[in-house]
Structure 1
Amino acid sequence: MRTPSLRKFDRLKLAVFVGLVVLSLFPRGIRAQERDTLPEEKYTVAFQGISLSEALEQFLIATNGSISIAWDPLLASGKRSFCVISEVSVNDLLTCILNGTGLDYIIRSNGLYVLELATEGPVSYGHLRGIIIDRDTEQPVPNASVVLTEAKRGLAANQQGMFLFPRLLPGIYHMQVRHVGYRPSLVEIQINSGDDVSTEVILESESVMITTPLVIDGFGMQPNSLLLGSADASLEEITANLNSGTNGLLQSLDAMPGVRVNDATSDIHIQGGEAGEHQFRLDGAPVFLPLNVASFIGPFSPFALGKITVNKAGFAARLGSQISGIVSAEHDLRAPASIRGAKNGSQFTIQVDPLSSNGRYSGFWQLPGGRHITALGAARIGTWSLLAPPSLTNLMDNWNTVDTFLLSAFAERNTPFANLPGSGNPAIQFVDLHGASKIRFGALKTLHLSSYFGKSSLGNNLTNIDPLDQTSSIVSQLARFRDLYSWTNGMAQARFDVVQNAHILTSLRLRGSMYNLSHDFEAPDEFSGTNTEDDGNRVYEVSLDGTVDYFLDNGQEVEIGAELTLTGSRFTVAGTQQFPLFHESSGIRFATYLEDKIQLGSHVVVEGGSRLTWLAARKTLYAEPRIAARMDWLNTPLGDVSMFWATGIYRQFVNQYDISSRSPRTFVSSTRFWMGNDASVTPPKAAHFASEFLIKPNAKWSLGVESFYKHQFHILSVDYSASSTDILSDLKQSEFLKTTSGFSYGIGTKVQRSVGAGSLKARFDHTITKRRIDELFGNRLLSAPWSEPFRLELSADLVPMSGLVVLARWRGSWGRTWGYRKAYYDFLSAHLNDLTALLEEMKDNGVSTDAINRIERQVTNYDLTSPDNHILSPIYQLDLSTAYSMRLGKYSLQVRADLINVLNRDNTAEWRFELDEESYFGGGVDNTTGLLERSDRLLLPRVFSAAVRLTW
């Protein structure tokens, strides 16, 4: 049995032991630079990027176990040591090993070395910047998703393929790079303390089906939501579309949800918008697209374009100011297939088809100093007079028929004329040239240069009529009719992109655009008060713009931009139109914008921003706030689900107008011109609301639904009731423009199923567009003349065997109104749709009573003041195409055949009036006496064409 003194001694020992344990929990920390009593042994090591864990193990071995060291494996994970040092103490050795890792050590009282995060002084972060390159084309890949796994950070590369990650802790990171159409890439990146690391990431393309769209609008952390808010077509889609030698671009646009290309005029309409409510850009520079004849002739050589993007309702502030949307095309600067992987080389492509001959040159060179140069040259020339299919020439002859209603309405005689043949061949001529190059100075600087020039002519030249033919005095007089439109347009731009540092990307661009229209019209005195008219429009725009992308340390991206633009326009609309008009103006506007992208959690990205535009003509600042959200959920019970919501205010500062012609030929129905807003009118304004979602249950199926509402608070339209008759008077815009308002809404669905290397698609669009024009049609809301309420499209793109592609497309549309020629309605709108006022004016002008009665009967019998009641028949059209490609030594040959409107349906573009002499002059039917008959202006009949393409 222990004595009390012994038990007391045991308790004392226990107290001392517990005290020592407690003290050991609060040791006096000694930094490497504070400790004086260090081992005297010297060490020499050479670690070249080995893992930190391995370096520490080597450190323990080198010290022969005389040093005890402890560390959390998570602190050392992903870090490497770069230490070359000789004859140093153990503490200096450990400091060298930890240099650049963001770690430090303390020495406890018991001699134990413990690693921890460095706390003395600021952490010396590293930075990562780079560019993503296509392995085959040697060109940047825009908008790729870039994720640093260890840092749990991600972003989207910009349009030039550049990206930045600022403020990274030293260590090794695994970077995942993904983009639609490319194999994912995993790259290991070493970040040292204070380093600014530059890198090139090479992506290798993978086989994708021929019509897979490569959408280029969005934020890279949400790969599926990138497919929402815009639509895209690549070079392969453009050149693979039916009759691609001329209209591949238009066919590609027409196949996009929410986008419609007018069958008769080839005008583009985005989600119910009018043709002049969007802007077409080539490499960021506006292109003023002239009035076209039909959708079988496109505006550019299809071999010059790499991709085209349509930004629809809810587009971002950085894209500009338009009340409907933006159509952006880019030149194709990919390295040619024949030289991929080589340091330099060139490739030529030629194609001959019934409407045009196309040529393309592309080259690629790698020069010393890390410079990469890619160049493109493309040309197209029309061959209508040589190779046009007979079905198309017959259609043009039909469109070239004299419109007897307009001829008698505007002629001084005001008597009915016989149906005159379309004497003289319709002139359809066009040529365009493209040039572009891209120069990369290493990975961080790129210079882009490009230009385009086009020249075209359309119209009628009837001077080949024999004036000695006296069988018809009217025919001989019509020999003096000449109605020719010719124009030139073009653009040029230079852009320089630079990664300035770990936080900042910059871009500076100078661009210019021009358009010049000449309309040469000559008519006999009996048909027009003047002999020769010359309408014209000259418009130009020059702009300097710059952007700065700033990447914050938290992964947030802020983009700031500014542009200074000068726009000038001069146009004359003479007696060939409803009223004479002359206007000239020029003005400056300065715009700036701010856009912020914020990642909220792992599923949502919010993009908010605003544009501010100072319009010098009105001395007014206009704001356009906008906000959008993109959401993604992966591997849900429905599959991958993505959503897009957007809203904002949109203005428009350069506007396009089409003035209906009173020329009796239906071949060319209006004159198109552009002008910037002057001080007398307020710029158009609209609000957008857009919602879209996309479901991908698996790799083969996808379902997309988009909806939108666009409210047009204020739009400008031509006022045909303008009273000016002095062609020499420079009018204010308020004197010949009037206010329009309205709205558009719609919903569209698209289902797609992959089939091998091809796909099956079904698309349905329902779009309603209403407009109210001041003082016209009782100020009622009416359907817009271009509205197409219902549209269904089925398509199949199949690759049954290697080298063979088969395309089939069926479409139907219903609900089109405003069935007659637009010129008829505009003729009446010149009198505010007041028939009584029209007849009184004709009487005051000395028009015969018979002619007045004839006009009155024509207008009332066909109810020309109620366009909503003029419902056109549905359009149904089936198109087929097949192409076969083969190798012939160093040559690649493609032979294709296209059959448009396989079933040869008589689809109607519009109605017009023609003279049936038997019914007009009696013919035993009293109720049609003195009335012109309604006839159909038809769209494309069955057309067969073939094309041959050779590449070497």
Structure 2
Amino acid sequence: MTGDRQQYAITGNPSDVSRMNQNGHHTRCSRGQPSEGRHPFGTGICPRIRPRIRFCIPQHIRFCIRPRIRRRLPLPFLIPALLTLLVLVLPFGFGTGWTGTAAHATASPDSGLDSGSVSGSGSGSVLDSATGSVSGTVSDSGGWAHQPERLWSFEFRGEPLQQVLETVARVTENDMIYDPVMIEDVVIFRRIREQPMPRLLSDILADTPFDYIMLSSGTLVIVRKVTDEPAFGSFTGQVSDSRTGKPLQGATILLADATGGTATNSNGVFRLNRMISGSHRIIISYVGYHPVETVVEIRPDEMVRTEVALEPRPFTFTPMVVEAQHPDLAGIDNRASVQSLSNWDVAGGLRDPIRSLGLFAGLQYGLPLQDIHLQGGRQGEHRIRLDGIPVYNPYHFGHFYSSFSPLAISDVRLHKAGYGADEGSMLSGIIDFEHDIPSPGSRGITVLGDPVNANIRADISYPRHPVSESSRKYSREDAPPSRTGSTSDASGTPGASSTSVTPGTSGSPGGSYPTLSATASFRSNFWDVYQEPNLQRTLENWGYVDQILAENLLQGTGTIHSEYESLKQVTDLRYLDLHTAIRFEPNRFHTISASVWHGQNRIRMSALNRRYEGEMQNNYLYTRDDYRWRNVIGQVRWDASPGPRTTITTRAGFSSGRMDHDYHMFTRSTADIGFDFDTFLSPETMIRAMSSAAPVEPRHDGFNRIDHGLLSSGLQYHFSPRLRLESGLELNLVSSQVDFSAFFFLPTSSDETTFFGTAYSNMHYHPGRNWKITAGSRFTRLDSQARLFVEPRLSVQYDRVNSGIGYWSARLSGGVYRQFIHQYDITNVGPTSLVPSFTVWSHASADEPPKAYHLSGSWLLQPSSLTTLRLEAYYKWEPTRYISSPRSLATDIGFDRSSAGAFSESTRLRSSGFSARLHQLLPDPRLKLMLGYDYSRAEYRMSQFGRTVPVPWNEPHRIQARGIIDVYGPFSVIANWKSVYGRAWGFRQAYYDYLWVKGTRTIGGQFDFGTPENDRLPAFHQLDLSLRYRPSLGSLRVDVHLDLINVLNRRNVIDWSLKPAGMTATQPPQTATASGGVA
């Protein structure tokens, strides 16, 4: 039979009970073994009716009646029924065994009373952090209802309130009723010595939102306090790396009872405001670090400050990269922890912050001469920033590697499809790099060298020991017990615990101030001293003469009269970059930081070629390809927390980029230069002679300049632990200039200056422990257009901890995205060009800004601490976007040559894709594996073909595998495998963008440049290995590595070119190489 659940309330005298016809929640009766009777309760009013006993009169108390009771009971029958129920369950309270979490309790004689003992083992999930058990000591000689003079002693160390009440009821032999749902997630830390039962229970409930009443039968009823207005306090502090002391931006601070959370700012500082006074369990976590749980006592109208030092995870896997979906619950990790010297290891070649990004889902990078492409977008659709300042042309040697020193960069943050409104406006996403500023107390010099370049870094800070000796630190073994009742770290690794929490006093943070930290890094190559043979051969292979392009430029036709042979190539490769960064902290909650970066590089190749067939007139071909890039950025930032709810960030910065490209090309005969090359001149002498005699024409001159000044300010305000609002204002002044001479293209010159302002707002809301909602929008106005461009964005994330398949997290996001500064990739037409394209930046203020719609989803699964699976999918529709226009550059179609329309055109693009990453750790042997797959599809309309075609940069199928194995001690092996399938646009880009446009549409009747989607390249496969040796030499850190690139010696195809011999497609070979380095 079934019965209705009914609700009752006590009014006036506790024995005078009246019934209310509402349904209630289940509660539990405790005396000895928990009874099956369940009683729902509400809140009550708690006057003191006698000394030492707090007697609460509830407004309504709900009881569950047995199923057979279907009709209303008269009030006189209620109390007997309750007493009968208690008598039925009373015998189960006797005995020596229990199932609570109190693992050991003893009773000792007191005042000559009889002694007894109660003991048992706990079955709950909350255990002592050091021993895995809790204990309580009891002095007892009877029940309170019969002998109120008895005194009791208990000690509770992090036990849930439910288990505490069961223990007290069991040991003192008192009947107790409470709602287990109501008291869930409340933890008790209390030491009680020789207190009578009334004071004992009052002490236990003192720092909780509960009180108790005693019925006339002597049964204790736990109810909520409603006598006073809620009292609130605040909790604030800083989260840092335990080894370096560096503040951790974006660390998650979560209330274990699901009432909210927050994240640290750029200085690692966080604030939780309007926290109800009492004990709160706090979970502090950061990807790549062991999470920590601690219990904080919040007192009314006071602020509790603390310092939390998180311990990095013990082994290296990939660079420290933070993505948009980072779980808000402790114990979940979506990036690996690395040490500074090994941040950018990618098994082979050069250590480089940007090249390492190719390991991550949705990032397409790693093939020679290839740009970064983010989830199907072209290079110009994402922005690379350093310390929040945009960097234009952040590469050395074309696109071979970045212009950032690996010693200068710490973390990288990826903002892919569906990123938030506070990050910026770009069609595809943003990649943020941060300078690695040392923590106070860090000093030293780091040197890194390999056959290509040398790096040096110096750190200095003041004071040497910023943490005062009086600051008390305790490790996780000493900290309050975790929610899971285990001393394991979040990944489940037992014993991995050196995370520390430094509690400060209420009103005084720990540590010594002010502090000052500074770093400087310098990197340069030494090509004049030593030319690395493998790199030299690569340059020579890429600089061979393309016969088709040479004849077209010289003769105006694609017909090849004879072939050129290479006589000599002289290459000059120079680059350097300088990083400086400083941070000053006058106190814990104010920080001033500044940084400056300067990078410049130049690559120049002079080549001498000779005809060996056909006419001997103009039998020598001289080419010189010269590139110069220069970048400068600087920024000053101020972070402040003026109040317990507010964080302010203000930044002023400047970025400047320059690009110069000169291409000389002319022919000479022996009669013209007055001597015979074959008789007595060396190739070097010949090149110098022809270079000095180089005429003004024909040559190509390309110049691009962009200067960007910005001022921004942002505000974060915490309304509650659940709700945080962000807003900000950005002011931008951009000036750009583009200038092309008339050799490859028609003369083009554009010079523009634009001012635009952007305001944004963002809301972060936690409706519950598992949910996180972020909603916001950007509002931008250009000075040249009387319009307001709105970019609404939304993301929803759900985290599930205890499921049948383990932890999983799902995220869905999307929105509208604009772009106000545009990048154009101009195809390099030179027949001996080293770089396939060069980049120019512009901002056509009179045109409609490009627009994109994003929809993305991701799912993270962690079935165990050794396995992590991440799935991502995206769809992007760009109804308005701009690309470089070969037709506008090469043909006169009536465009104004002083506007951006002289080198650009509008188009539409659709892209979609899917990515999967599996990370697996095998403890024995110590092997870390990563398997990845990326699928990408992107198409746009090109005016030169008059139809929609696949984009040239797309890699439809990309497979990656990475393994790290610790062979023994300091010796390890790193292996990388990558395969790419389905690449189209197989010929040099100039064949499609120049020859086709100029009228040379087929060669030999069998090669058609009008169908790039049909020109499919063979699959690309490459295996790289790195052998590393890192011995321990006291304070000296040594890292020796040997890199083997393309160890299978595969002839991977970058692109095709044509030569006269049978009109067969050829390409420069790619061979196995080796390099090494010492750090």
TM-score, normalisation: structure 1 = 0.79
C-alpha contact (below 8 Å) 1:222/1:631 kept by paired residues: no
2:866 maps to what in 1?
Answer: 700
CA gap of 1:718–1:153, structure 2 versus 1, over 3 A, is closer
Q: Deviations over 1:439-490 (max 9, x none)?
A: 233321222211211010123235x8999xxx96645562xx4321112112
* Cα distance in 2 between the residues matched to 1:186 and 1:290: 41
User: How far 1:500 sits from its partner (Å)?
Assistant: 2.2
1:536 aligns with 2:733: no
CA gap of 1:369–1:474, structure 2 versus 1, over 3 A, is same
1:522 aligns with 2:703: no
CA gap of 1:475–1:161, structure 2 versus 1, over 3 A, is farther
Mapping for residues 237-316 of structure 1, pairs under 5 Å: 238-243=343-348, 246-261=350-365, 263-289=367-393, 293=397, 296-316=400-420
Q: Deviations over 1:83-116 (max 9, x none)?
A: xxxxxxxxxxxx9x9999999999x9xxxxx999
CA gap of 1:78–1:404, structure 2 versus 1, over 3 A, is closer
2:132 maps to what in 1?
Answer: none
**Residue 808 of structure 2 aligns to which amino acid in structure 1?**
V
1:903 aligns with 2:903: no
User: How far 1:610 sits from its partner (Å)?
Assistant: 1.2
What's the C-alpha RMSD, in Å, of the aligned pairs? Answer: 4.1
* Cα distance in 2 between the residues matched to 1:128 and 1:271: 40
Query: Which structure has greater helix proportion?
Result: 1
* Cα distance in 1 between the residues matched to 2:748 and 2:338: 40
1:919 maps to what in 2?
Answer: none
User: How far 1:741 sits from its partner (Å)?
Assistant: 1.0
Choose 354-363 or 522-531, whichever is displaced more: 522-531
User: How far 1:613 sits from its partner (Å)?
Assistant: 1.1
What secondary structure, in the 3-state scheme, does the structure 2 residue paired with 1:289 have?
A: coil
1:418 aligns with 2:563: yes
* Cα distance in 2 between the residues matched to 1:242 and 1:156: 34
1:711 aligns with 2:808: no
Choose 785-794 or 191-200, whichever is displaced more: 191-200
Mapping for residues 455-494 of structure 1, pairs under 5 Å: 455-462=600-607, 474=618, 476=620, 478=622, 481-494=623-636
* Cα distance in 2 between the residues matched to 1:794 and 1:30: 65
C-alpha contact (below 8 Å) 2:566/2:609 kept by paired residues: no
1:136 maps to what in 2?
Answer: 243
* Cα distance in 2 between the residues matched to 1:352 and 1:943: 18
What secondary structure, in the 3-state scheme, does the structure 2 residue paired with 1:770 have?
A: strand
CA gap of 1:214–1:868, structure 2 versus 1, over 3 A, is closer
CA gap of 1:588–1:117, structure 2 versus 1, over 3 A, is same
* Cα distance in 1 between the residues matched to 2:561 and 2:419: 52
What secondary structure, in the 3-state scheme, does the structure 2 residue paired with 1:395 have?
A: helix
Q: Deviations over 1:695-733 (max 9, x none)?
A: 211111222221111112111112222278799976222
Choose 719-728 or 252-261, whichever is displaced more: 719-728
**Residue 819 of structure 1 aligns to which amino acid in structure 2?**
G
User: How far 1:202 sits from its partner (Å)?
Assistant: 2.4
User: How far 1:790 sits from its partner (Å)?
Assistant: 0.9
User: How far 1:639 sits from its partner (Å)?
Assistant: 1.4
Mapping for residues 442-453 of structure 1, pairs under 5 Å: 442-453=587-598
2:750 maps to what in 1?
Answer: 583
* Cα distance in 1 between the residues matched to 2:802 and 2:223: 39
1:647 maps to what in 2?
Answer: 814
**Residue 715 of structure 1 aligns to which amino acid in structure 2?**
R
2:652 maps to what in 1?
Answer: 510
Mapping for residues 799-948 of structure 1, pairs under 5 Å: 799-828=966-995, 830=997, 835=999, 855=1000, 858=1003, 860-916=1005-1061, 933-938=1064-1069, 940-948=1070-1078
C-alpha contact (below 8 Å) 1:125/1:193 kept by paired residues: yes
Q: State which of 479, 500, 504 in structure 1 corresponds to 2:642.
A: 500
2:322 maps to what in 1?
Answer: 215
C-alpha contact (below 8 Å) 1:308/1:328 kept by paired residues: yes
Mapping for residues 142-161 of structure 1, pairs under 5 Å: 142-149=249-256, 152-161=259-268
User: How far 1:789 sits from its partner (Å)?
Assistant: 0.6
1:379 maps to what in 2?
Answer: 522
* Cα distance in 1 between the residues matched to 2:395 and 2:457: 26
C-alpha contact (below 8 Å) 1:581/1:725 kept by paired residues: no
* Cα distance in 2 between the residues matched to 1:676 and 1:233: 39
1:348 aligns with 2:348: no
2:535 maps to what in 1?
Answer: 392
User: How far 1:744 sits from its partner (Å)?
Assistant: 1.1
* Cα distance in 2 between the residues matched to 1:407 and 1:466: 12
What secondary structure, in the 3-state scheme, does the structure 1 residue paired with 2:353 have?
A: helix
**Residue 1039 of structure 2 aligns to which amino acid in structure 1?**
Q
* Cα distance in 2 between the residues matched to 1:692 and 1:104: 45
* Cα distance in 1 between the residues matched to 2:844 and 2:556: 40
C-alpha contact (below 8 Å) 2:895/2:902 kept by paired residues: no
What secondary structure, in the 3-state scheme, does the structure 2 residue paired with 1:344 have?
A: coil
C-alpha contact (below 8 Å) 1:146/1:178 kept by paired residues: yes
CA gap of 1:130–1:440, structure 2 versus 1, over 3 A, is same
1:760 aligns with 2:929: yes
1:406 maps to what in 2?
Answer: 549
C-alpha contact (below 8 Å) 1:143/1:217 kept by paired residues: no
* Cα distance in 1 between the residues matched to 2:895 and 2:980: 45
User: How far 1:140 sits from its partner (Å)?
Assistant: 1.1
* Cα distance in 1 between the residues matched to 2:339 and 2:882: 34
Mapping for residues 564-603 of structure 1, pairs under 5 Å: 564-603=731-770
User: How far 1:734 sits from its partner (Å)?
Assistant: 3.1
* Cα distance in 1 between the residues matched to 2:956 and 2:895: 43
**Residue 636 of structure 2 aligns to which amino acid in structure 1?**
A
C-alpha contact (below 8 Å) 1:232/1:309 kept by paired residues: no
User: How far 1:899 sits from its partner (Å)?
Assistant: 0.5
* Cα distance in 2 between the residues matched to 1:242 and 1:437: 32
What secondary structure, in the 3-state scheme, does the structure 1 residue paired with 2:802 have?
A: strand
Percent identity at matched positions? 26
Q: Deviations over 1:530-582 (max 9, x none)?
A: 34553211101111111111112251111112211111101211134332210
User: How far 1:194 sits from its partner (Å)?
Assistant: 1.4
Q: Deviations over 1:168-222 (max 9, x none)?
A: 2223333332223333333343322212333222223341343375535456624
CA gap of 1:520–1:77, structure 2 versus 1, over 3 A, is closer
Mapping for residues 23-62 of structure 1, pairs under 5 Å: none
Gaps of 5+ in 1: 1-17, 36-53, 55-59, 66-70, 82-94, 109-113, 336-342, 836-854, 917-927
CA gap of 1:565–1:576, structure 2 versus 1, over 3 A, is same
* Cα distance in 1 between the residues matched to 2:983 and 2:222: 76
* Cα distance in 1 between the residues matched to 2:14 and 2:287: 61
1:327 aligns with 2:458: no
CA gap of 1:31–1:374, structure 2 versus 1, over 3 A, is same
Mapping for residues 599-678 of structure 1, pairs under 5 Å: 599-678=766-845
Choose 368-377 or 397-406, whichever is displaced more: 368-377
* Cα distance in 1 between the residues matched to 2:205 and 2:857: 52
CA gap of 1:791–1:528, structure 2 versus 1, over 3 A, is farther
TM-score, normalisation: structure 2 = 0.70
What secondary structure, in the 3-state scheme, does the structure 2 residue paired with 1:391 have?
A: helix
**Residue 767 of structure 1 aligns to which amino acid in structure 2?**
S
1:201 aligns with 2:308: yes
* Cα distance in 1 between the residues matched to 2:915 and 2:177: 56
What secondary structure, in the 3-state scheme, does the structure 2 residue paired with 1:248 have?
A: coil
* Cα distance in 2 between the residues matched to 1:871 and 1:77: 64
Choose 385-394 or 633-642, whichever is displaced more: 385-394
Q: Deviations over 1:373-411 (max 9, x none)?
A: 322211110123444432331221121112222222122
CA gap of 1:530–1:295, structure 2 versus 1, over 3 A, is closer
**Residue 804 of structure 1 aligns to which amino acid in structure 2?**
F
**Residue 762 of structure 1 aligns to which amino acid in structure 2?**
L
Q: Deviations over 1:742-763 (max 9, x none)?
A: 2111112222210235411211
C-alpha contact (below 8 Å) 1:910/1:936 kept by paired residues: yes
User: How far 1:675 sits from its partner (Å)?
Assistant: 1.2
CA gap of 1:347–1:232, structure 2 versus 1, over 3 A, is closer
